Structure 1
Amino acid sequence: MDRLYLISFILLCLGIIFDGLLLVFFIASIVSLILLSFKKRDFMIIFLLGSIIGFAFERLGLSTGIPFGHYVYNFPPYVFGVPIFVVFGWGIFSFLSYLAIFNFPEKEKIIIFSFLMVIIDLSVDPIMVSAGYWTWKTSILDYFGIPITNFVGWFIVSLVIIIIYSLIRGSKEKSEDNIFSYLFPLVYFLFPLNFFIHAKPQLEEPLFIAMITSLIVTSIIIANWRIKYKIIKKS
């Protein structure tokens, strides 16, 4: 068993379980990111792309409402109007989503990654809106006070992130079967599960939806990888 993978797995689990305000999770994620980058530089690449591209689209969104919708932040400190937390959030959530599918072929990563990112936002956005860290302007179609355009925007931005990543990396990666192909998707699921367990009464419904959605997708990822590995092994 690879020690760096194991240490990173433990750090991420502890960071999620023992943190209600995301600070411990962010620190654990950065340490895990650095450790895993010694194994595969892809983790650092996806983190940097997520942070940079996420920031660019957040800046665009604040100015034009594209692609997320119209919103206002109340979450200092800022970088050109975008909270530093949000910039790093894009990077860390990209890292977490990629980690769940790091052994998948590049073509499959493109669509799965984008859905994983949206599911994370299904958990995070209701919490942050409820805490007053940002405010959405009213819209006709919304999800517990959050415009549907926000989730469409997340999908689009995530798609840009993973496509640029794929262009940089090409098809150089080789899939390998190890226990972490199954454990890291569980880390991804633990994230919305922990939010739901500690949810305030008014947030139980949206966080339950996010948790169940994450459970379904995580189960599919693990099952799909198991089937794929059996086929590869036979061939």
Structure 2
Amino acid sequence: MDRIYLISFILLAIGIILDGLLALFFIAAIISLILLSKRRKDFPIVFLVGAIIGFIFEKIGITTGIPFGHYAYHFPPYILGVPIFVIFGWGIFSFLSYLTIFNLPSRIKLIIFPFLMVIIDLSVDPIMVSAGFWTWEKSAINYFGIPITNFVGWYIVSLIIIATILVVNNRGLVEVGRIRGRENNSSSSNNIITTYFFPLAYYLFSLNFFIHAKPQLEKPLMIGMLFSLIITLIVVLLNRRVLRLSSKK
């Protein structure tokens, strides 16, 4: 069993389970990212692309209201009006989402990744709004006070993020191919981690929020947890299918 994969999963799980408002999880995720970069060069790219594109669209969002809707941050420190925490959040959430699907074909990643990101925000946004870290203008069509445009915006931005990641990775096809070749020859224990454990870490993120939900947040966090469960099961099934196909080659 690859120790780096196993340690990375354990760090993520501990960071999620013991966390309150994401700080410990962020630290654990960064350490996991650094460790996993020794096995795959695309993980640092995922984090950087997610953080940079997320920052650009957050800046556009607080200035124009596009694509998320009109909102205001109360969460210093800032870079050009965007909280540093939020910038890191885009990078970390991109990493967590990509971690569940990195063995899948590119076309499947393009479809699944934006939904993984939106489902994370189904839990995160209500918590952060409740804590007063940002506020939304009232909207007739909303999800527990959060405009639906926010989630449409998350989908669009996440689609741009994964498309950019795939383009960057394809330009480095030879190097990524060597990395994947090593993984295809890895033990069944490693396959268990990548097929089941990393998606489990994704699900634990929303599940933990629901378990510790305040009464006023139980409904939105239950919805986020259920959607997270559904997409996690879908990802596991897709990972199993890819694993079966690769074993026949």
Same fold by TM-score greater than 0.5: yes
- Superposed CA offset, 1:188-213 (max 9, x none): 00000000000000000000000011
Q: Secondary structure at the match of 2:107?
A: helix
Give, in angstroms, the shift of residue 103 of structure 1.
0.9
- Superposed CA offset, 1:14-43 (max 9, x none): 000011121111110111110101111111
Choose which of 236, 244, 247 in structure 2 pairs with 1:222: 236
Structure 1 residues not aligned, in runs of 5+: none
Distance 2:27 2:50 in 1: 17
For the 8 Å contact 2:8–2:32, the answer to whether it is kept is yes
Name 1:194's counterpart in structure 2: 208
Name 2:3's counterpart in structure 1: 3
Name 2:154's counterpart in structure 1: 154
Choose which of 221, 237, 240 in structure 2 pairs with 1:207: 221
Across the aligned residues of Structure 1 and Structure 2, the Cα RMSD in angstroms comes to 1.2
For the 8 Å contact 2:104–2:242, the answer to whether it is kept is no
User: Under a length normalisation based on structure 1, what TM-score does the superposition of the two structures give?
Assistant: 0.97
For the 8 Å contact 2:74–2:132, the answer to whether it is kept is yes
Figure out how many residues of one structure are paired with residues of the other and give that number.
235
Distance 1:234 1:6 in 2: 25
Are 2:196 and 1:180 aligned? Answer: no
Q: Secondary structure at the match of 2:102?
A: coil
Give, in angstroms, the shift of residue 125 of structure 1.
0.1
Give, in angstroms, the shift of residue 227 of structure 1.
2.4
The runs of at least 4 consecutive aligned structure 1 residues that moved more than 3 Å come to 171-177
Distance 1:3 1:232 in 2: 22
Name the stretch that deviates more: 162-171 or 112-121: 162-171
Name 2:166's counterpart in structure 1: 166
- Superposed CA offset, 1:29-65 (max 9, x none): 1111101011111110000000000000000000100
Q: Secondary structure at the match of 2:217?
A: helix
Name 1:35's counterpart in structure 2: 35
Distance 1:227 1:94 in 2: 23
Give, in angstroms, the shift of residue 233 of structure 1.
2.3
Give, in angstroms, the shift of residue 228 of structure 1.
2.8
Name the stretch that deviates more: 164-173 or 183-192: 164-173
Structure 2 residues not aligned, in runs of 5+: none
Distance 1:117 1:231 in 2: 27
Distance 2:227 2:98 in 1: 17
Give, in angstroms, the shift of residue 230 of structure 1.
1.8
What amino acid does structure 1 have at the position aligned with 2:166? S
Distance 2:248 2:80 in 1: 53
Give, in angstroms, the shift of residue 232 of structure 1.
3.1
Distance 1:147 1:79 in 2: 24
What amino acid does structure 2 have at the position aligned with 1:56? I
Provide the identity percentage: 65
- Superposed CA offset, 1:150-195 (max 9, x none): 0000000000011011111116544737112211000000000000
Give, in angstroms, the shift of residue 106 of structure 1.
1.3
- Superposed CA offset, 1:61-84 (max 9, x none): 001000000000000111100000
Q: Secondary structure at the match of 2:66?
A: coil
